[in-house]
């Protein structure tokens, strides 16, 4: 009897996960096709083949759907980055490799990306915490790259790699905002700008002692 209950519970959980995946895929398609503002929760439910109440049972509002789509996409993009990450190259080259994948992701859908960056500041509650966690994971990934660079004597042994990673991340975001605000978005130009910023960061601006 217990095994039967467990089996039923597993099937229900699998069905729930499948429904969530369909809702997310439908949201992603409509956000890309219509934009965030013009996409209604009812349209998402219709595309997914579920009731509006089912959508709300998985996601409390449309903004949480947008965040969920973003987090899923960023997770998949990061997996692609790590599969192709060059190893024995300078840390700036490794970070530019990472940035390239994410810049391509955002610039393929500039209108939606602008909406993402506009809507996702200062999100509170559960979904705000998920965004914060993802950002910290990104910074920790950069910090690990810098630790490896420290082992290869690329950067000073006393350097605070977590602090430097936050600086890398800040430069990455500034270039992303500038790129998406440009009338002619160009990933190569964005990467060139980012490379210059990183080189300046690693060189420093203080007078030699």
Q: Is the pLDDT of residue 64 over 80?
A: yes
* Domain 1-59, CATH among 1.10.10.60, 2.60.210.10, 3.50.50.60, 3.30.1240.10: 1.10.10.60
**pLDDT attached to residue 46:** 96
**pLDDT attached to residue 163:** 96
pLDDT digits (tens, 9 = 90+) for 5-53: 666 556 677 788 999 999 999 999 999 889 899 999 999 999 999 999 9
For CATH 1.10.10.60, list the domain ranges present in the chain.
1-59
**pLDDT attached to residue 88:** 83
Give the DSSP per-residue string, 103-114.
Answer: HHHHHTSHHHHH
Helix (H, G, I), strand (E, B) or coil at 122: coil
60-203, CATH topology level: Tetracycline Repressor; domain 2 (1.10.357)
Cα separation, 76 vs 74, in Å, equals 5
Average pLDDT over all residues of the chain: 90
With beta carbons less than 8 A apart as the criterion, state whether 73 and 101 touch. Answer: no
With beta carbons less than 8 A apart as the criterion, state whether 47 and 29 touch. Answer: yes
């Amino acid at each position: 009897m217990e095994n039967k209950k467990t089996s039923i519970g597993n099937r229900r959980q699998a069905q729930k996960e499948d429904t969530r995946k369909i809702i997310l895929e439908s949201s992603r398609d409509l956000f890309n096709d219509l934009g965030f503002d013009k996409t209604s929760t009812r349209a998402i439910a219709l595309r997914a083949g579920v009731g509006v109440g089912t959508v709300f049972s998985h996601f409390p509002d449309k903004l949480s759907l947008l965040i969920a789509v973003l987090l899923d996409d960023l997770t998949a993009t990061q997996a692609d980055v790590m599969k192709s990450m060059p190893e024995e190259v300078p840390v700036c080259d490794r970070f530019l490799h990472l940035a390239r994948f994410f810049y391509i992701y955002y610039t393929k859908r500039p209108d939606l990306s602008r909406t993402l960056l506009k809507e996702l500041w200062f999100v509170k509650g559960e979904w705000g915490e998920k965004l914060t966690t993802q950002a910290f994971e990104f910074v920790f990934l950069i910090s690990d790259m810098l630790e490896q660079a420290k082992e290869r004597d690329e950067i000073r042994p006393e350097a605070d790699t977590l602090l430097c990673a936050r600086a890398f991340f800040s430069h990455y975001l500034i270039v992303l905002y500038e790129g998406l605000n440009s009338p002619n978005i160009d990933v190569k130009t964005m990467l060139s700008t980012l490379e210059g910023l990183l080189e300046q960061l690693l060189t420093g601006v203080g007078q030699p002692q």
